[in-house]
């Protein structure tokens, strides 16, 4: 009689418990990695937005200085270099300063013309690039990032001003 009771008992064996524990561990690890990835992407997006705003501020300074001269011809690179922020702090993470700096050989000004519009209408293409270094977060290594903005300034050139 006792033999029949022991044989008819149903339940989980040790192997079932270990398999369930393994599956729960995999699920929790996946949730942890998804959380780490989402956090790092949120920080990167914050830095990108801050760098975009810093670059746009510098472009606004260039535009302001250009229109202060009553839109009088080409953009002067000396006016640009004297009135922009070369380095901007984006964030502080664990006493590590994340700085966004203007890339070497930028800002760049190139004179161009569009002959299909008019022969005496020129424009200056002002290009500004800023670089920053993303910090190491958990399993992700450092990564260099950059943002580039371009703006065109149209003006009329007379034959005597070329």
Residues 6 or more apart whose Cβ sits within 8 Å of residue 143: 133, 134
Task: Name, of 30-44, 72-86, 93-107, the range with top average pLDDT.
Answer: 30-44
What are the structure tokens assigned to 58, written together?
């510098």
Distance CA 14, CA 117 (A): 82
Query: Could you give the percent of the chain with pLDDT greater than 70?
Result: 80
| 121 has pLDDT over 90 | no
Selected residue with higher pLDDT from 44 and 1: 44
pLDDT band at 10 (very low <50, low <70, confident <90, very high): low
- Three-state SS at 22: helix
Nearest to residue 157, comparing CAs of 111, 122, 126?
A: 122
Q: In this structure, are residues 101 and 130 in contact, taking their beta carbons and an 8 Å threshold?
A: yes
> Is the confidence at residue 37, as pLDDT, over 60?
yes
Mean pLDDT, to the nearest integer, of 5-13? 62
| Side-chain half-sphere CA neighbours of 4 within 13 A | 1
Q: Bigger pLDDT: 150 or 65?
A: 150
pLDDT tens by residue, 82-98: 777 788 888 888 888 88
pLDDT tens digits for range 44-65: 899 999 999 999 988 888 888 7
Bridge partners of 18?
A: none
What's the confidence (pLDDT) of residue 50? 92
CA dihedral 68→72→77→80, nearest 10 degrees, is 10
Residue-wise burial string across 72-107, b where 16 or more C-beta atoms lie within 10 A, e elsewhere = ebebeeeebeeebeeebebbeeeeeebebbbeeebb
């Amino acid at each position: 009689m006792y033999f029949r009771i022991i044989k008819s008992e149903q339940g989980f064996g040790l192997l079932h418990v270990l398999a369930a524990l393994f599956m729960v561990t995999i699920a929790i690890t996946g949730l942890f990695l998804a959380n780490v990835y989402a956090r790092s992407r949120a920080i990167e997006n914050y830095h990108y937005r801050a760098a975009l705003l810093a670059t746009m501020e510098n472009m606004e300074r260039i535009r302001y200085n250009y229109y202060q001269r009553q839109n009088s011809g080409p953009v002067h690179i000396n006016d640009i270099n004297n009135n922009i922020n070369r380095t901007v702090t984006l964030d502080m993470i664990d006493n590590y300063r994340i700085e966004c700096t203007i890339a070497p050989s930028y800002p760049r000004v190139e004179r161009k013309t569009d002959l299909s519009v008019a022969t005496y209408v020129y424009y200056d293409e002002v290009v500004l690039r800023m670089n920053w270094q993303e910090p190491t977060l958990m399993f992700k290594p450092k990564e260099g990032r950059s943002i580039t903005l371009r703006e065109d300034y149209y003006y009329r050139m007379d034959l005597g001003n070329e």
